[in-house]
Amino acid sequence: MTTLVLVLALGHIKLSSPPSTLVQDTYGNPQKTAPCGGNGTATNAVTEVEAGAQLEVRWTETIGHPGHFRIGIARTPSEFVTPTAVVMNNDCKSAPIETNPSYPTIVDGLFAHTNAPSNVQRSTTITVPMMRCENCTLQLMQFMSNHAPGCFYFQCANLRIVMPDAGVPAELDAGIDEPDAGLTVDAGVTEAPDAGAEEGEHHHHDEIPGETEPMGCGCNGLALAPWSALVLLLWRRRRSW
């Protein structure tokens, strides 16, 4: 009988995912002291999650008790507030449940049950709060009725919350792009043929039929038209950025 009493005094929940902040024994100890179970050996495990993403929380109720569970995420463990349980005749009777949870509570009154099976695997999926946090804490809390005080057990996990990718390209173009490899900057400028150019050699531009003399200043409409097209092209590309 003495051995049985010692076992019943041990922990009752064992967090499996995300991994606990502390090394746990078979029953999930340490877990009797708020907000994260008490003193123990740190696992240094940190789970990176994305703000607004879904996160599965899994644990085992190693020794059953009537009651329910609560899950929250806080920037620091000190922000978790343990409810005040109703205790009568040295027996935990009930605890308040947040029907409209607010920070740091995410869900309360989870898996409320009056029976007491042991080694029950439980899991739920929560939405990670929309906040950036390098060192946040997830808390799993169990309220137990038909149990002498303390009425709560605690497990915690370390989280690193990152903001979701906004879809911005890694490199953004700044200003006007360099001309394309196939785009000649001096398009439309007619140069006089090289005096020593070999017969049959042509420049990159098309010659205008019937023109044998240079076009002077090059200010006529035919010379300006390609420049206008180039300026219009660059202006349209800049508006599309």
CA distances to 75, 184, 185, 204, 234 from 224, rounded to whole Å, are 65, 14, 13, 17, 16
First to last CA, the chain: 78
Q: Which three-class secondary structure state does DSSP give residue 82?
A: coil
Domain that holds residue 36: 9-162
**CATH code of 113's domain:** 2.70.50.70
Full-model pTM: 0.67
Per the structure, the count of domains in the chain is 1
Asked, for residue 210, whether it belongs to a domain, the answer is no
pLDDT in single tens digits along all 241 residues of the chain: 434 434 444 448 999 999 999 999 999 999 999 999 999 999 999 999 999 999 999 999 999 999 999 999 999 999 999 999 999 999 999 999 999 999 999 999 999 999 988 999 999 999 999 999 999 999 999 999 998 999 999 999 999 999 998 654 444 444 444 445 454 445 444 444 454 444 444 444 444 444 444 444 444 554 555 555 665 666 565 555 5
Q: Is residue 181 part of a domain?
A: no
CA dist 206 → 187, 189, 203 (Å): 10, 10, 8
